[in-house]
């Protein structure tokens, strides 16, 4: 049976990126967002491929949602392994199959699904990031997880290895429920409360998705932003096959368990880093510009002594004091410690992140990033050179909502 869903999607490149590596799918009853990562155009390829394979497997092959996500993982991984230009690419995936009285949600990475019900916003996914794990283990306060330097270092992503662990959950649906799928470009710029207010204020899905994206860009737009909003019809209870009529209230979640109701798996080493959110860096650059404008040496001293980053120096992973990049030809970092980790022993996506500089708020956090990087080292393995016929071309993203 079908139910008349209203839905809309919006995406924006943001203010800091040269390409939009997010992809989405809005083909009822299947919805998804994917946030691709990797050098050059690889992030585009990863997210577009994942979404395309997901749609094909679910809609054409009738595959179960979790199996379709695993197939998408294999497809992205195969492509990344066969083309050195795409080596190290990966993508998040948060997808929903909307049924009349329930919705199935599958999730890998740090994109998110939310449920708005009777004015309350509930997060349905947990981020597969280092920071989120540290918060769950009680090592950092939960409220710090969204600002932690490792908040964007993923512990799981599609395409990175031949196998992937997929979170799967089924939620009961009530009339008037609104669901949101979004990439971290939204949740890194807006708080859950700000997201809730917009979803509450905007009745029409088109306006809700558009305004979420607009507000994230207005708040800084540090990343690509994508939002998919799905509304169940109000008031009328969709029929439940063989189960009488009306909507049964969703059973209460057992106290003490998280949404997924199961214990967390053993932490995997971080495998991919999403691009940095650069708010702090811009603040520091602003401080330095103030010096140039004659505001005094104090701001520059503050900036250089209180900022750290991990970057690349002569092919080695290096801890710097200062901020990555340069302004008017002046570099803002000084070498504090050169590690013994060669950057060419790291996945391509990490090499790119090191070129940009991975920022930290103090030395301990910088050294923590080095420890995470150390676990990523891979033996240099020669890639098979691609034969002319097998070079993959970026697949079109299917299902862009009209």
Name the pairing type of β-strands 112-117 and 120-123: antiparallel
Q: Which is nearer to Mn ion, 150 or 183 (CB)?
A: 183
Q: Which is nearer to Mn ion, 157 or 310 (CB)?
A: 157
Euclidean distance between CA atoms 328 and 108, whole angstroms: 41
Q: Select the span of 29-37, 121-129, 278-286, 333-341 touching Mn ion (CB under 5 A).
A: 29-37
Record the tokens describing residue 100, joined without a space: 């009349």
- The footprint of Mn ion on residues 291-330 (CB under 5 A) is none
Pick from 35, 146, 177, 312: which binds Mn ion (CB under 5 A)?
35
Specify the residue for token string 């080095």: 370
Interaction residues for Mn ion, span 335-374 (CB under 5 A): none
Q: How far is the CB of 195 from Mn ion (least distance, A)?
A: 16
Distance separating alpha carbons of residues 126 and 149, to the nearest angstrom = 17
Structure tokens at 196: 């809730």
Q: Considering the complex, what minimum distance in angstroms separates the CB of residue 224 from Mn ion? A: 6
Instruction: Match 């009306």 to its residue by tokens.
Output: 246
Shortest spacing between CB 375 and Mn ion, in angstroms: 23
Write down the least CB distance from residue 37 to Mn ion, Å.
Answer: 8
**CB nearer to Mn ion: pick between 238 and 270:** 270
Given the complex with Mn ion, which of 177 and 184 has the nearer CB atom? Answer: 184
- Which region, judged by CB under 5 A, interacts with Mn ion, from 31-39, 201-209, 304-312, 348-356? 31-39
Please count the residues of this chain forming the interface with Mn ion, following the rule CB under 5 A.
Answer: 5
Task: Compute the Cα dihedral for 338, 340, 344, 345 and give only its sign.
Answer: negative
Indicate the residue among 209 and 318 with the shorter CB distance to Mn ion.
209
For the bound state, the minimum distance from the C-beta of residue 110 to Mn ion, rounded and expressed in Å, comes to 8
CB of 246 to Mn ion, least distance (A): 40
Instruction: Quickly count: other Cβ atoms within 10 Å of residue 261's Cβ.
Output: 10
Query: Helix axis angle, 279-292 relative to 297-305, nearest 10°?
Result: 150
Residues 219-258 that bind Mn ion (CB under 5 A): 223
The region of 30-38, 62-70, 171-179, 265-273 touching Mn ion under the rule CB under 5 A is 30-38
Report d(CA 39, CA 88) in Å as an integer: 8
CB of 172 to Mn ion, least distance (A): 30
In angstroms, the CA 380 to CA 377 distance is: 9
Comparing CB distances to Mn ion, the nearer of 87 and 226 is 226
Q: Of the two residues 219 and 290, which places its CB atom closer to Mn ion in the complex?
A: 219
Nearer to Mn ion, 110 or 231 (CB): 110
Say if CB 363 and CB 396 are below 8 A apart.
Answer: no
Query: Coil, helix or strand for 356?
Result: helix
Shortest approach of Mn ion to residue 184 CB, angstroms? 4
Site string for Mn ion, 197-226 (x = CB under 5 A): --------------------------x---
Q: 22 or 167: whose CB is closer to Mn ion?
A: 22
Contacts made by residues 386-391, CB under 8 angstroms, sequence distance 24+: 386/82, 386/83, 386/84, 390/82, 390/83, 391/83
Instruction: Please say whether the beta carbons of 158 and 108 come within 8 A.
Output: yes
Question: How far apart are alpha carbons 398 and 400 in whole angstroms?
Answer: 6
Tell me how far apart the alpha carbons of residues 334 and 376 are, in angstroms, rounded to a whole number: 25
| Strand-pair category, 112-117 with 178-182 | antiparallel
Q: Is 146 in the site for Mn ion (CB under 5 A)?
A: no
For the bound state, the minimum distance from the C-beta of residue 223 to Mn ion, rounded and expressed in Å, comes to: 4
Task: Name which of 19 and 391 has its Cβ closer to Mn ion.
Answer: 19
Span 173-192, contacts to Mn ion by CB under 5 A: 183-185
- Closest distance of CB 117 from Mn ion, Å: 26
- To the nearest 10 degrees (0 to 180), the angle between helices 65-82 and 42-55 is 150
Q: How far apart are CA 213 and CA 227, in angstroms?
A: 7
Contacts with Mn ion by CB under 5 A lie at 35, 183-185, 223
């Amino acid at each position: 049976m079908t139910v008349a869903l209203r839905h809309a999607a919006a995406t924006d490149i943001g203010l800091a990126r040269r390409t939009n590596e997010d992809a989405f799918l809005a083909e009822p009853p299947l919805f998804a967002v994917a946030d691709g990562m990797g050098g050059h155009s690889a992030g585009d390829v990863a997210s577009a491929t994942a979404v395309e394979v997901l749609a094909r497997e679910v809609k054409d092959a009738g595959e179960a949602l979790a199996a379709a996500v695993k197939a998408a993982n294999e497809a992205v991984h195969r492509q990344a392994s066969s083309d050195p230009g795409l080596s190290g690419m990966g993508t998040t995936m948060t997808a929903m199959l909307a049924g009349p009285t329930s919705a199935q949600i599958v999730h890998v990475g740090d994109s998110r699904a939310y449920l708005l019900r009777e004015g309350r916003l509930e997060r349905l996914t947990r981020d597969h990031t280092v920071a989120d794990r540290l918060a769950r283990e009680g090592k950092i306060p939960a409220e710090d997880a969204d600002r932690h330097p490792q908040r964007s270092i993923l512990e799981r992503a599609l395409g990175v290895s031949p196998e992937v662990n997929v979170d799967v959950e089924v939620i009961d649906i009530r009339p008037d429920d609104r669901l949101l799928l979004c990439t971290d470009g939204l949740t890194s710029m807006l708080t859950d409360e700000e997201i809730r207010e917009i979803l509450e204020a905007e009745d029409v899905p088109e306006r809700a998705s558009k305004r979420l994206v607009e507000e994230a860009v207005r708040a800084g737009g540090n990343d690509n932003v994508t939002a998919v909003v799905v509304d169940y019809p109000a008031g009328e209870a969709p029929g439940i096959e063989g189960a009488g009529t009306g909507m049964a209230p969703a059973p209460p979640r057992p106290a003490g368990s998280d949404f997924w109701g199961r214990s967390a798996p053993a932490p995997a080493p971080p495998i991919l880093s999403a691009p940095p959110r650069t708010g702090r860096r811009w603040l520091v650059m602003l401080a330095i510009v103030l010096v140039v404008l004659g505001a005094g040496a104090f701001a520059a001293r503050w900036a250089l002594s209180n900022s750290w980053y991990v970057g690349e120096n002569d092919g080695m992973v290096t801890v710097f004091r200062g901020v990555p990049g340069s302004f008017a030809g002046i570099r803002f970092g000084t070498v504090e410690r050169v590690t013994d980790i060669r950057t060419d022993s790291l996945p391509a996506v990490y090499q790119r992140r090191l070129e940009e500089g991975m920022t930290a708020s103090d030395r301990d956090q910088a050294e923590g990033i080095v420890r995470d990087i150390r676990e990523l080292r891979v033996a240099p393995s020669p890639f098979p050179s691609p034969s002319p016929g097998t070079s993959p071309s970026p697949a079109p993203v299917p299902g862009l909502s009209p």
